[in-house]
Amino acid sequence: MDAELLLAHVLGVPRARLLTLDAVADDDAARFEGLVEQRADRVPLQHLTGRAPFRHLELAVGPGVFVPRPETEQLAGWALDRLAGTEGAIVVDLGSGSGALALSIAHEHPGTRVTAVERDPGAIAWTRHNAMARVGAGDTPVGVVQGDMTDPSLLAELDGRVTVVVSNPPYVPDDAVLPREVADHDPPSALWGGPDGLDVVRGMLAVAARLLHPGGWLGIEHADQQGTALPAVVRAHGGFTDVEDHPDLAGRPRFTTARRR
């Protein structure tokens, strides 16, 4: 599949169009061979094509930004369900990276005020690029803020006003062994979360609790080994109720949700 997607990328055609091709020009074949060699060396497919699909969007990605995963689409869907039927809602995406969560919410629930927060200077360039591209496509503009999701003063002007906070934070335990596509190419600041992977989450909970209005919703993605630990951390904070964990499409624990007391 990766080879087919790379060839389709080189030729600028949909993957299904490959079935009707009679030949490939020499220049295209040489470029394709080079891309296949890079993919065989575990360079992520999305870095080679420069694009990553996410729900109804296609986002620009490359070195310096975390490549959005299909599993995160369910967190976006959960947030959109919470927003259904509301007008003028405020949403904050903490640790936005490519902007996948923030931009999907703005695209699928027009009129929502969405703010994407990203700390890393390399990653936020991709956030801004994708946000501008979606404005050009007619979507509701998304505000992009450079900041740390654990900063006690982050977005102070939104204290007690936010409807939904979502986050795909760094949650990989420090001793984890990762595939080369991840370890060599995703930015470290988007991966590592301390000894148990939850250090950033602990710091972020205070910010989320401050931003959310009573009854507002919080959704946090996590590793499949953290389906018990992360809900426990949220409960221990004391500011949330209705703490629940949700599986991904493969049945693995994937994200925790809660409601502001």
Q: What pLDDT is recorded for position 119? A: 97
Element (H, E) at 218: strand 212-221
DSSP string, 68-119: P-TTHHHHHHHHHHHHTT-SS-EEEEES-TTTHHHHHHHHHSTT-EEEEEE-
Which is nearest to 70 in space by CA: 59, 82, 81?
59
**Residue 114 contacts by C-beta under 8 Å, 6 or more apart in sequence?**
90, 91, 92, 93, 102, 103, 105, 106, 140, 142, 143
pLDDT in tens, 178-192: 999 999 999 999 999
pLDDT in tens, 203-236: 999 999 999 999 999 999 999 999 999 999 999 9
Q: Give the CA count within 13 Å in the CB-facing half-sphere of 64.
A: 12
Q: Residues 238-250: what's their mean pLDDT?
A: 97
Paired sense of beta strands 57-60 and 90-94, if any:
unpaired
Mean pLDDT of the chain: 97
Residues of the chain with CATH 3.40.50.150: 60-260
Cβ contact 6:49 at 8 Å: yes
Round to whole Å and give the CA distance between 119 and 149: 8
Give me the percent of the chain exceeding a pLDDT of 70.
100
Q: Residues 144-159: what's their mean pLDDT?
A: 98
Q: How far is CA 81 from CA 105, 118, 209, in A?
A: 10, 24, 20
pLDDT in tens, 93-122: 999 999 999 999 999 999 999 999 999 999
Round to whole Å and give the CA distance between 169 and 200: 7
Q: Residues 25-33: what's their mean pLDDT?
A: 97
Which is nearest to 223 in space by CA: 181, 149, 172?
172
Cβ contact 169:220 at 8 Å: yes
Total length of the chain: 261
Cβ contact 211:161 at 8 Å: yes
Q: CATH: 1.10.10.10, 3.40.50.300, 1.25.40.10, 3.40.50.150. Which one for 60-260?
A: 3.40.50.150
Q: What pLDDT is recorded for position 51? A: 96
Q: What pLDDT is recorded for position 85? A: 94
Round to whole Å and give the CA distance between 16 and 5: 10
pLDDT in tens, 31-70: 999 999 999 999 999 999 999 999 999 999 999 999 999 9
Q: How far is CA 166 from CA 146, 192, 259, in A?
A: 16, 18, 12
Round to whole Å and give the CA distance between 229 and 196: 9
Q: How far is CA 205 from CA 117, 153, 154, 156, in A?
A: 15, 13, 12, 15
In degrees, rounded to 5, the angle at the alpha carbon of residue 146 between the alpha carbons of residues 144 and 148 is 125
Query: 17: which DSSP letter?
Result: G
CA 238 distance to own-chain centroid: 26
Which is nearest to 220 in space by CA: 255, 183, 184?
255
Which is nearest to 145 in space by CA: 74, 205, 94?
94
Give me the percent of the chain exceeding a pLDDT of 90.
100
